């Protein structure tokens, strides 16, 4: 065979071997690709289902947010609020800056002068994730862009209006009717609690007064028994002896005096009896002497009356 034919034959053999190797590799790649395609289709199906669920939840959240926002009116977030006492009164005012509440000046100008503009204030927590409802306020005036707001309820000592100063606030022009009724119910309960507290304070005052009177009466009774030698004001009427020395001391002294008087009377009785006995003895002796005298024929009985 010619040399060129041999070379071409070897090229054909090598090409056939390479074709077999490439075919096997192509089959492996195709198998791996089909397996990966199947895996990706399964992942896509799962992700598509998860995406549909997330979309449904998002649409529900959007609807819920719209429902929650309904009836709340305009809102201003992260408003800096200062507090100030209203003159010499016990009222407290909230002060806001119109630069942080855009649009509020127009609302105030458009509102009826007979019905002042009102806002509902919420104070945010330090982390800003939550807020607490403080109350409703009505506009009292505006000066140099600073707007004053007065509380529509009686600010109590427990409200600690001084603690309202500073922090971030959320201001709203409206609150839903169901929330307003809830706040009104809470206000009614708080008013009832205030009245109950005042009643308790009044009853406590009466009890304290009665207790003080009872203590005074007890002190007077003890003073009557044990005496009261405390300094008295000048020109004050003199107290009875038992109010100074005490009934116990006076009774003891009287008892001692009575015992001494009884002893004196008893001694007098003994002295009287002794004198009476001596007199009778002398009478008997005189009678005996009279009978013993010479010439005494008649004996006269002498008696002592």
The neighbouring-strand residues paired with 135 are 121
Q: Are strands 92-97 and 82-85 parallel, antiparallel or unpaired?
A: antiparallel
Query: What span, in angstroms and rounded, lies between the C-alpha atoms of 283 and 302?
Result: 8
Report the CATH number of the 75-175 domain.
2.40.30.230
The predicted-structure confidence for 59-76, as pLDDT tens digits, reads as follows 988 888 777 767 677 888
Count of CA atoms in the C-beta half-sphere (13 A) of 150: 13
Average pLDDT over residues 136-156: 83
State the average pLDDT for the chain.
78
Torsion of CA 281, 283, 288, 290, to 10 degrees: 160
Query: What span, in angstroms and rounded, lies between the C-alpha atoms of 248 and 259?
Result: 16
pLDDT band at 128 (very low <50, low <70, confident <90, very high): confident
Q: Is the pLDDT of residue 36 over 80?
A: yes
Q: Is the pLDDT of residue 231 over 60?
A: no
Which pLDDT score, from 0 to 100, does residue 244 have? 62
């Amino acid at each position: 065979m010619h040399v060129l034919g041999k070379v071409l034959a070897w090229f054909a053999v090598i090409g056939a071997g390479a074709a077999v190797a490439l075919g096997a590799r192509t089959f492996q790649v195709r198998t791996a690709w089909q397996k990966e395609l199947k895996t990706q289709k399964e992942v896509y199906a799962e992700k598509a289902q998860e995406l549909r669920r997330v979309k449904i939840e998002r649409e529900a959240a959007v609807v819920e947010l719209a429902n929650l926002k309904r009836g709340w009116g305009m809102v201003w977030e992260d408003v800096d609020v200062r507090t100030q006492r209203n003159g010499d009164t016990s009222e407290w005012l909230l002060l806001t800056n119109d630069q942080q509440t855009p649009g509020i000046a127009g609302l105030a100008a458009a509102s009826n002068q007979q019905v002042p503009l009102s806002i509902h204030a919420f104070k945010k927590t330090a982390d800003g994730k939550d807020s607490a409802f403080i109350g409703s306020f009505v506009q009292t005036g505006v000066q140099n862009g600073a707007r004053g707001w007065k509380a529509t309820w009686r600010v109590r000592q427990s409200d600690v209006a001084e603690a309202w100063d500073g922090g971030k606030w959320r201001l709203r022009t409206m609150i839903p009717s169901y929330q307003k009724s809830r706040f009104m119910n809470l206000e009614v309960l708080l008013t009832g609690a205030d009245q109950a507290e005042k009643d308790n304070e009044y009853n406590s005052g009466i009890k304290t007064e009665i207790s003080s009177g009872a203590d005074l009466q007890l002190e007077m009774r003890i003073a009557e028994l044990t005496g009261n030698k405390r300094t008295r004001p000048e020109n004050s009427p003199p107290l009875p002896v038992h109010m100074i020395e005490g009934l116990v001391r006076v009774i003891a002294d009287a008892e001692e005096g009575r015992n001494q008087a009884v002893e004196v009377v008893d001694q007098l009785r003994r002295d009287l009896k002794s004198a009476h006995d001596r007199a009778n003895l002398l009478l008997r002796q005189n009678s005996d002497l009279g009978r013993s005298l010479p010439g005494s024929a008649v004996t006269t009985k002498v008696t002592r009356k």
